[in-house]
Structure 1
Amino acid sequence: MLHVNMVKILKRLTFGLDSEERRWERPGPTGDHLRRDVIGVVIFFLVSALALELSRGVGAMAEERSPVWLQHAVLALMIFPLVFRRRFPVLVMLVMSALFIILSLWIPALSLQLSYQVAYFASLYSAVAWAKDRRVLWLGTTVVVVAMTLWLILSLTVANTYDGLLERVAEGDETWRGIFDPLTSAALYYFMVNFAYFGGAILAGMSSWRNALQRTQLADQATQIARQSAELARRAVIEERLRIARELHDVVAHHVSVIGVQAAAARRVMDRKPEVAAESLRTIEQASRQAVTDMRNLLGVLRSETSVQNPHNDDDGRHPEPGLADIAALAGNQQDGGPEVTFSRVEDVPGALDEVSAPLALSLYRTAQESLTNVRRHSTASAAVMTLRTGRTGEQRWVELETVDNGRPRQRVAAGSGYGLQGIRERVALHRGTAEIGPRSDGGWRVRARFPLQ
């Protein structure tokens, strides 16, 4: 009955899994596993041989008449199949089950050795932990359980174990008086011992198998997440570049269109060398318009991906692109429910910020926008300082936007994707500038983007 329960437990553990888990096969052992198994088994045998001799010294093997060398040989025969316990787990379990019964009948006193019992326990555990085909494992375990049940029955009947108990009771041995009669006591005792033995091996092996399955699933999930993150990052960079391309197109196209209009006007009013001027201005007009046409055609290819992704996006509506003058208003709009933002402009030369080109001004505005969004969503900051400044390093003049806050990353809010900060880096790289983004040594967070001025 006990062993039938063990089979039911294993069957429930095995077939209680979903279909994907049942199809999963634990990867076989590596060369490193095999080397460790060989070393471990050798050490285990040496310790077991020493334990056998120590037990002999206290009389545990007094009734055994077989040669000492044979006892050690039998012990080695029981232990050394464990070398292959990971590579052939079910086969090793079946072999060691047969050895356990045969050797126990041959040298009964040896089967009482702790190392002998531990070796068989290890074979049961390894079979459940490493078997690839779980149905074969269940069938093999059924065979083992039936064989062990028969062996226990034989040990209590043919081996006259129970008759010996009855004789000792009949002789008046008071140590055998208990709350139950000898037959019930023996049956319950063997039930508890075998339940703990086989149940512990099965549960420990199943726990190891499930842990291996979870590790594999976590590794697969981590790989999938990394792949998806890389794809999302790639898409975010592409979308950011497409947005930059649209903005640059609008700014540059506007100025080039103005050149075309002014050149056409000059051709009509100029009276000095009208033929030459008219021809030159006509060339300028045609070249500027052709440049706008080519630029629209080229960037239209880049826009097509965004147009497909956002079919409801209306690109016909034109709005003035924001610039440096709009950064102060952007900082002021953060006061509503957000950190207090202080904005300042610093010019090393009066009027230096007025010389910033429209594309660069737009990139500075977008940088300020992303910086403040990062502070508002992902920081505990109560205040932030934003500074727009110009300066010179050697012969190179530059303009930079720096945002500094006094907060820490929010712990209970999911981490951001990082695409906004990636967009800042993309804009800075577009203008061949430098970006410094990260925590400060004295606390808070800094976003500093420096762009060279031509």
Structure 2
Amino acid sequence: MTVLERDEEPCWPRWRRPLPTRRQQRNDVLVALAVLAGAVFTVVVVRSMGLAFNDDVSLGEQVLWGAAVVAPIVVRRRYPLATLAAVGVLFIVAQARGMGENVVPSIALFLAIYSTGAWERRRVAARWARITVIVAMFVWLGIAIVRLLVEPTVEFPGASGPLNPLLAAVLYDVGFNAMFFLSAYFFGEMAWLSARRQAELAYRAEQLRRSQEENTRGAIVAERLRIARELHDVVAHHVSVMGIQAGAARRVIDTDRELARTALDTVEETARAAIEELRGLLGVLRAEPGEAASEEPESSRESSPDLEDLPDLVERTRSESLDVAFAVYGEPYPVSDGVALSIYRVTQEALTNVVKHSLAGSVDVRLRYLDSGVEVEITDDGRGPSGPGRPQGSGLGLVGMRERVAVHGGELETGPRPTGGYRVRAVFPQPARRRAAGGADVA
């Protein structure tokens, strides 16, 4: 299992490297074949130069020993510990037999130590296995040095340096082997750490991608809710008003044509208002995401309702069976476009509920400009938004009102009044204001 398949944060110090892929295992076979070819070539060359350490070992046996030392690296990434053990043992046995050629077997040993550090998933075992092999190799080197020291016929023709030739040979062998084995250990460890960092980066990238997807989905859902809220406010109110006015016109068309004509005029005006608001909403939806407010189409800006449109909204709700009243209290002061639109929509939804559900005979809308903010209150003398014999609403209207008020940090109160009827009260707080002498608002 890779780290990207886990839901929780992996513990990176205990991270386990995924097994090698088939392509990587095929590459190991190719590397082993290349090293084997090098082993055969060097054995032939060394024998041809007369540098065989043991004349009893034939060319064929030397080739077989070289192939035996190299063969385990075929599975060096799949089974690194077994490869290291096999190469280490065969390396010492081949040298003890007097194979002579040492370059290519050393390459195989380097690859085995490196691969154990880079691929062994059990890190403690990988560490001690490499240390054990390196110590064994130095023990073997020590044995060879002891043999060199006790050899009475060792000669160093042409030696002219300041050090004793025998001491120089010992220092050279020890230094070269120390660099060789420490390099294999170090680069294997670095390969493991690099793979772990890459896995961590891939995990972080995947987490970031998922987070971006979640944010995108959240933004889409929020936008859909906003669109649904706007469509509900626009369509539900205007259709309800048109239905009430059309019903009133139908009832009086034979007895009071003037009143019927007035009701039908209201239906026509309400339909036009609905079309204008829908056109404005569609204009906003078609606008580019980065388009500034000042660049919005003129028709979109004009169609967005504000507090000045409240009297017309209330008046359009009036019908033969519903009396409406609208009043403004306090000294009006400018509010933001968002607050104005929210006040309008809350009033619109409250009036829609009155028309559709309350069976009220009168409704009173009051807009108050207070020092602490703007308050709108809609009360009626009906029997609430639900009850026997009345159509049940979806509840989206109240949810939409709460969302609109909550966006501006305001408060919404809805419920029946003690004296009868229903009340909707929304408060939109405003920043503290000081009235300048000239009447201007100062933050």
Query: Does the pair score TM above 0.5?
Result: yes
- Per-residue CA shift, 1:287-306, capped at 9, x if unaligned? xxxxxxxxxxxxxxxxxxxx
Separation of aligned partners in 1, 2:168 and 2:153: 12
CA separation in 1, counterparts of 2:105 and 2:175? 19
Shift, 1:212, TM fit: 2.1
3-state secondary structure, aligned to 2:100: helix
- Give the aligned length: 281
Name the counterpart of 1:85.
Answer: 76
In structure 1, the partner of 2:350 is: none
- 2:78 alignment partner, SS class: coil
Aligned to 2:327: none
Give the conservation status (yes or no) of the 8 Å contact 2:234–2:274.
no
Distance 2:154 2:70 in 1: 36
1:245 aligns with 2:228: yes
**Correspondence for 2:284:** 365
- Whichever residue aligns with residue 41 of structure 2, its letter is L
Alignment of 1:19-418 (within 5 A): 20-61=11-52, 64-110=55-101, 112=102, 114-157=103-146, 159=147, 161-164=148-151, 168=155, 173=157, 175-182=158-165, 184-260=167-243, 262-263=245-246, 266=249, 270=252, 272-273=254-255, 357-368=276-287, 370-373=289-292
| C-alpha contact (below 8 Å) 1:64/1:109 kept by paired residues | no
In the aligned structure 2, how far is the partner of 1:155 from the partner of 1:164? 11
Contact 2:53 2:98 in 1 (8 A): no
The structure-2 alpha-carbon separation of the partners of 1:146 and 1:257, relative to structure 1 and needing over 3 Å to count, comes to same
Matched-pair contact (CA < 8 Å) for 1:128–1:205 = yes
Please give the alpha-carbon distance, in whole angstroms, between the structure 1 residues aligned to 2:194 and 2:144. Answer: 37
Residue 410 of structure 1 is matched in structure 2 by none
Give the unaligned 5+ runs of structure 2.
Answer: 1-9, 300-443
Distance 1:190 1:264, change over 3 A: same
> 1:165·1:182 contact (CA, 8 Å) conserved in 2?
no
Asked if the contact 1:22–1:134 (Cα under 8 Å) also holds between the matched residues in 2, the reply is no
User: In the TM superposition, what is the alpha-carbon distance from 1:387 to its structure 2 partner?
Assistant: 7.4
Q: Are the counterparts in 1 of residues 28 and 74 from structure 2 also a CA contact under 8 Å? A: yes
Q: Counterpart amino acid of 1:168?
A: E
Paired amino acid for 1:358: E
Counterpart AA for 1:116: P
Return closer, same or farther for 1:63/1:91 CA change in 2, 3 Å cut-off: closer
Aligned equivalent of 1:322 = none
**Greater Rg over alpha carbons, structure:** 2
Separation (CA, whole Å) in 2 of partners of 1:264 and 1:34: 82
Following superposition, the deviation at residue 239 of structure 1 comes to 0.6
- Do the aligned residues in 2 keep the contact of 1:75 with 1:116 (CA within 8 Å)? yes
What amino acid is aligned across from residue 34 of structure 1 in structure 2?
Answer: Q
Match of 2:289, SS state, is helix
TM-score norm. by structure 2 comes to 0.55
| Whole-angstrom CA distance in 1 between matches of 2:253 and 2:15 | 88
Number of the residue aligned with 2:370 = none
Residues 224/83 of structure 1: CA separation in 2 closer, same or farther (3 Å cut): same
Distance change in 2, residues 1:355/1:55 (3 Å) = same
What is the TM-score of this pair, normalised by structure 1? 0.54
Q: 1:231 to 1:42 in 2, by over 3 A?
A: same
Name the CA shift for 1:64/1:116 in 2 (closer, same or farther; >3 Å).
Answer: farther
Distance in 1, Cα, partners of 2:295 & 2:221: 31
Partner amino acid, structure 2, of 1:148 = M
Distance in 1 of aligned mates of 2:253 and 2:26:
97
User: Aligned equivalents of 2:71 and 2:56: distance in 1?
Assistant: 24
Asked whether the equivalents of residues 80 and 119 of structure 2 are also in contact (C-alpha less than 8 Å), the reply is: yes
Match for 1:208: what amino acid? Answer: A
Cα offset, 1:192, TM superposition: 2.2
Q: What is the DSSP-based 3-state SS (H/G/I as helix, E as strand, rest coil) of the residue aligned with 2:211?
A: helix
Q: Is the Cα contact below 8 Å between 1:166 and 1:182 reproduced in 2?
A: no
CA deviation string 1:257-297 (max 9, x = no partner): 432553476478x36257xx99xx9xxx9xxxxxxxxxxxx
Distance in 2 separating the partners of 1:166 and 1:213? 53
Q: 1:354 to 1:258 in 2, by over 3 A?
A: closer
In structure 2, do the counterparts of structure 1 residues 186 and 265 end up closer, same or farther at CA, with 3 Å as the change threshold? same
Seen in structure 2, the aligned counterparts of structure 1 residues 83 and 224 have a Cα distance that, compared at 3 Å, is: same
Pick closer, same or farther for the CA change 1:146–1:199 going to 2, 3 Å.
Answer: closer
1 CA distance for matches of 2:159 and 2:288? Answer: 87
Distance 1:142 1:364 in 2: 73
CA shift, 1:133, in A, is 0.1
Q: CA 1:183–1:168 in 2, change beyond 3 Å: closer, same or farther?
A: closer
The 3 A distance-change label for structure 1 pair 62 and 190 is closer
Larger RCO of the pair (alpha carbons < 8 Å, separation 6+): 1
Inter-partner Cα distance in structure 1 for 2:19 and 2:83: 15
- Give the distance between the partners of 1:362 and 1:52, measured in 2 at CA: 85
The runs of 5 or more residues in structure 1 that have no matched partner are 1-18, 286-352, 377-383, 390-454
Amino acid across the alignment from 1:121: F
Question: For the structure 1 residues 30 and 77, does the alpha-carbon distance in structure 2 shift closer, same or farther, using more than 3 Å as the test?
Answer: same
Q: Which moved more, 1:124-133 or 1:50-59?
A: 50-59
1:144 and 1:163 mapped to 2: Cα distance?
26
- 8 Å CA contact 1:90–1:140 kept in 2: the answer is yes
Q: 2 CA distance for matches of 1:262 and 1:165? A: 125
